[in-house]
Amino acid sequence: MKIDSKRALEQLRQIESPFLKLFEHGTLEVELYKPEKIDLQQPHTRDEVYIILAGKGEFLNDGQRTTFKPGDFLFVPAGIEHRFENFTDDFSTWVLFYGPEGGEKS
């Protein structure tokens, strides 16, 4: 299975949504996320990984702010407040949700 990022971005441009679900297998769900100017996300019920596809900016994760760039890996446990801020217009990221509702236990 292969997902082409360029094709996925083209598909996303054709719908009126900042995210596009591209793959599901077991508990794994893969999406492409490209918010416009403001990230309005709320905490999610499952653990989540972001792999930055394009762009730069800041990421607020449970009150801690960090910068991000293409290729960076970001993890957010289930239920934690998080969002992308001050990101460039070309920002997009892979989103991987996985595991049970409430997140995996350490």
Tens-level pLDDT at each residue, the chain (106 residues): 899 999 999 999 999 899 999 999 999 999 999 999 999 999 999 999 999 999 999 999 999 999 999 999 999 999 999 999 999 999 999 999 999 999 998 7
Report the distance separating Cα 69 and Cα 53, nearest Å.
Answer: 8
Cβ-contact 83, 42 below 8 angstroms = no
Domain ranges of the chain: 5-98
One of 2.115.10.20, 3.90.1150.10, 2.60.120.10, 1.10.10.60 is the CATH number of 5-98, namely 2.60.120.10
C-alpha dihedral over 85, 86, 90, 91, to 10 degrees?
-20
CA–CA gap between residue 76 and residue 74 (Å, rounded): 7
Please name the residue ranges forming H helices in 1-106.
Answer: 5-13
pTM of the predicted protein model: 0.94
